[in-house]
Amino acid sequence: MTSSPIWRLAPGQRLQHRCWEGECVLYNDLSGDTHLLDEFALAVLQQLAGAPQPVAALAAAFESEGATPEDDAALFDTILADLAALHLIDTLPC
Amino acid sequence: MLTVAALGQPAVAARLRGRGLRLQTGPFITCIRSASPALAAALGRMYADYPVMGEDISADFDVLLRRPRGLRRLVKPQVYFHYDGMEPFQPLPLAQIYPMFEWAMNWCVSSHAHSWLVIHAAVVEKEGAAVILPAPPGSGKSTLCAALVARGWRLLSDELTLVRLDDGRIDPVPRPVSLKNGSIDVIRAWAPHAHLSPPVTDTLKGTVAHMRAPADSVARAREPATPAWIVFPQWRAGAPAEMVPVPQARAHLRLAENAFNYSLLGAAGFASAARLIEQTRTFDFSYGALDDAMAVFEALLAQRR
């Protein structure tokens, strides 16, 4: 049986951000990169900064009315994949 | 205060040949050495109002423009640029010594002035409000800058916007405005009284000439300005003048792309750029005629009154 991966903020980085009108710039001092994110992606990052967690816990934290669990899972999969591609998050080793 | 004009052409040439002419441009003092009479004449013509420091004053930048030794002096003569003993650039034809000096001065600041966030942008000011014009070559940035300056805006720089890291204000570094190809005749027609250097042909950028900075801008070179707008200009033949707001987060990224030392400054660069975005309104600006552009910038100013 496989367990759901636990997502975390990639270690060793300090992040700064500014948001204006629904869009945010995020500075990662580890890579030196500045990224353009929407406010929801930034909120997911901040949630992971609080504690590593699986998708189910993230979905519960951002529970939206009317959305099915499948909808939420697909949304988080996309956001987490995007943040991982930017090396901002990764999964805890087993 | 001793200026290049007050020092006089023979003394300027003698200092250049000797221990160096210590020229102040904005916050920087550059010690310039060269035996070239053409450079001495160009500095006398284009930097007449600039302060000259005594030989006991230490310089921020130490530059030498020299001709090659031996037969190379005679066959297709070239000019070499040295900075603190290094040669950061390939030599250029001797006829390009003055444009090379200007490009080298830009390089000195953009490569070393890390006490500021240095943005590749023109910046002008009127009524206490500065407009920053970041843009790649070919966007019409310098032409627009020269046109605004000829209509009474104070020149802070046509190439290098120096944003203070501590308070976000802009320190001027007014120097001659670089004009290329068609823009030379455009500005000649727009500002018949502006003093332009003789055009130099066949440079890497085509034909180039420089417009002398107004004396008032040089005299106020120690007076910082407060940023009010960031305008990304784009000249298009026949286009109407149009300002389109740029969302701030996207403007931040574009500002970072146009900064020479954003990455080098790290978190301080991010914070400085973010403060600049918060202090200003940000626009894309397309235009086809300078008259229309002037009206748009005056309207921006009027909205602040």
Partners of residue B258 in chain A, C-beta under 8 Å: none
pTM of the model: 0.94
Q: What pLDDT score was predicted for residue B188?
A: 97
**What is the phi/psi pair of residue B254, to 5°?**
-70, -35
The shortest C-alpha distance from A77 to chain B (Å) reads 25
Q: Are B165 and B153 in contact (CB under 8 A)?
A: no
Domain-embedded: residue A2: no
**For the segment B52-93, what is each residue's pLDDT rounded down to a tens digit?**
999 999 999 999 999 887 766 667 789 999 998 899 999 999
CB-count burial class (<10 Å; 0-12, 13-18, 19+) for A52: middle
Find all residues with CB under 8 Å of B290, minimum gap 6, and list them. B143, B144, B147, B186, B190
Q: Where are the beta strands (DSSP E) in A7-53?
A: 7-9, 15-20, 23-28, 34-38
Number of domains in chain A: 1
Q: A41 to chain B nearest CA, in Å? A: 14
Let me know if residue A93 belongs to a domain: no
Residues of A numbered 8-27 whose beta carbons fall under 8 angstroms of chain B's beta carbons: which are they?
Answer: 14, 16, 18-21, 23-25, 27
- Which sequence spans correspond to the domains of chain B? 4-112, 116-304
Residue contact B267–A20, C-beta within 8 A: no
Distance CA B305, CA B301 (A): 7
Among B39, B261, B304, smallest CA distance to B160 is for: B261
- Which residues of chain A are under the pLDDT cut of 50? 1
Looking at the predicted structure, is the pLDDT value of residue B164 above 90?
Answer: yes
The pLDDT of residue A1 is: 47
* CA dist., res. A16 & res. A29, Å (int): 8
Contact A16 B278 (CB under 8 A): no
pLDDT digits 0-9 by tens, B22-35: 999 999 999 999 99
Q: How far does B278 lie from chain A, in Å, by closest CA?
A: 9
Distance CA B225, CA B222 (A): 10
Domain for residue A94, yes or no?
no
| Confidence check on the interface: ipTM exceeds 0.85, yes or no | yes
Using DSSP, state whether B92 is helix, strand or coil: strand
Instruction: Quickly name the fold that domain B116-304 has.
Output: Rossmann fold (3.40.50)
Nearest 5°: phi and psi at B237?
Answer: -55, 125
Range of A27's domain? 15-88
Which runs of consecutive H residues, i.e. helices, occur in B122-258? Answer: 141-150, 182-190, 215-219, 248-257
